[in-house]
Each structure stands twice: as structure tokens, then as C-alpha cells.
Amino acid sequence: MYVAVGQFAVTPLWEENARQCVLLMAQAARQGAALLVLPEALLARDDQDPDLSVKSAQPLDGGFLQTLLEESQRNRLTTVLTVHIPTTQGRAANTLVVIREGKIIGTYAKLHLYDAFTIRESRLVDPGGQLPPLIDVEGITLGLMTCYDLRFPEMALNLALAGAEVLVLPAAWVKGPLKEHHWATLLAARALDTTCYVVAAGECGNKNIGQSRIIDPLGVTIAAAAEAPALLMAEIDRERIVQARRQLPVLMNRRFAPPQLL
């Protein structure tokens, strides 16, 4: 199965961001991808207004997602991204959305909010209360995560033990001292913790690092982007997952019960 990762710089205009997503969807489908992972918080972003993503929140039937759903009707591509969905007045949930064939087939409200490194996401964003669903794409099982979730190995482990073979991660990883190092290290670590592929998309604006990656179940990076807009493609091979889990049976060798997130 071929997977694609699209990274770009999100603008303050949701219409422009929707247009960019549609272009990446069409390009990924033309190149034969079954899965496209896009970055986190795609409705709007402004370097001068850190709250714009929440201010621009739209419901699931809003114009942004309807534009993407129209494009989704043209092929069998599964697309994963996150947007902010209104909750109460002035607040929103950072919501991962999975779309296929013109329909929303899965959603997940981000569990771990980014209250770290001087940023407090929970100031305007409500955390989710449920683990994400597993999603099947051409017989391969996806586990869903969003950005800061990456720092919590118990989440990746719970998904793998539930049956995930690929972890997908839309992100907007903020720049800062050692942050690029953390990103690369944590992506490889989650692959090795779970013997899953990791497919991670990063927003590449002025404040975020980009650096999307596709990593195999033994922690090898098989596709990577730098800081500029890009569309990555790589093949995910189920036999590679089987082989990795035979050589490194960490899921079977565990001596501790999995931690319960909720």
C-alpha cells in the first residue's frame, strides 16, 4: 500500500487552506496513494494571532470540510487531518477527521493538549475524552494520534495492542531548542515501541518545523521532508510489519499490563 504525507504552510484564510488540501489530495490520488496524512489545525493560522485556529473553528458540516469531502468523492483515497470544531462559546476541540469517498468515517478529539514550552493549548481548547477509533485502509489497520500525543508512549502502545499496524500523526510541531531532535527521536521511538509504521505530517509555517516523516516498524526513516512544502510517498509493506514483530516481539514480551488512558 502506498501512503502519502502532505506538508504546507497554513494561511489565515480557510478557503486557501482548503484549496491546498484539495490539490494535495488530487496529487496523492494520481500517484496511487491509498492514504494521505495532512498536518494539524488546518483551518487557519496567523503568526500574529495564536488564537486564530480556535476563532476560525467550524462544525463538521462547515465549508472547509465540505470542500474536502467534494474532492474525496472522486477517488478511494483516505485522508487524515485535524481541524478545530466549536464546543462552547470561544472554545473548540482539536479534532482529527478521517474522510473517504465523500464521507467522514472517523473522528478523534485530541486527548493530550499542548501545555508545555510556554504554550497552553488548554486555554481555549477542550481535551477529548475517548481513545481514537481504529481505521482500516486496504486491510491495514491505522491508529490515530495528534501532535503532542506523540510524547505519551502509553497511547501508541494502547493503539498497537488494540490492533494498529500504522500510527498516523497530523502535527504542528513548534520550533524551539532541541524540538527538531525531540520530533525525530520520538517518531522513531514510537515505531520501535509498537513495531508499527509511523506516518507523520508536520505544518511548515514560520513557527513550526515541517519535517514530515514516514518511519518503518524498526525505526528506519523511509521518507522525509525538510522545512518547505512537500508531498512524500512511500510503500507500506505488511510483510515488513510481520518480520519486525517476529524479530522484535516487544508486544508479546511485555510483562506489564498496558496503562489505562481513561
pLDDT digits (tens, 9 = 90+) for 189-201: 999 999 999 999 9
pLDDT at 3 over 80: yes
Q: Tell me, what's the pLDDT at 256?
A: 84
Cβ neighbours of residue 103 closer than 8 Å, sequence gap 6 or more: 69, 72
pTM of model > 0.95: yes
Active site residues: 40, 110, 147
Euclidean distance between CA atoms 27 and 36, whole angstroms: 10
When pLDDT is cut at 50, 70 and 90, the band that residue 262 belongs to is: low
Please list the residues that pair with 251 across neighbouring strands: none
Per DSSP bridges, beta strands 135-137 and 140-144 are antiparallel
Euclidean distance between CA atoms 110 and 222, whole angstroms: 27
Average pLDDT, the chain: 96
Architecture in CATH for domain 2-247: 4-Layer Sandwich (3.60)
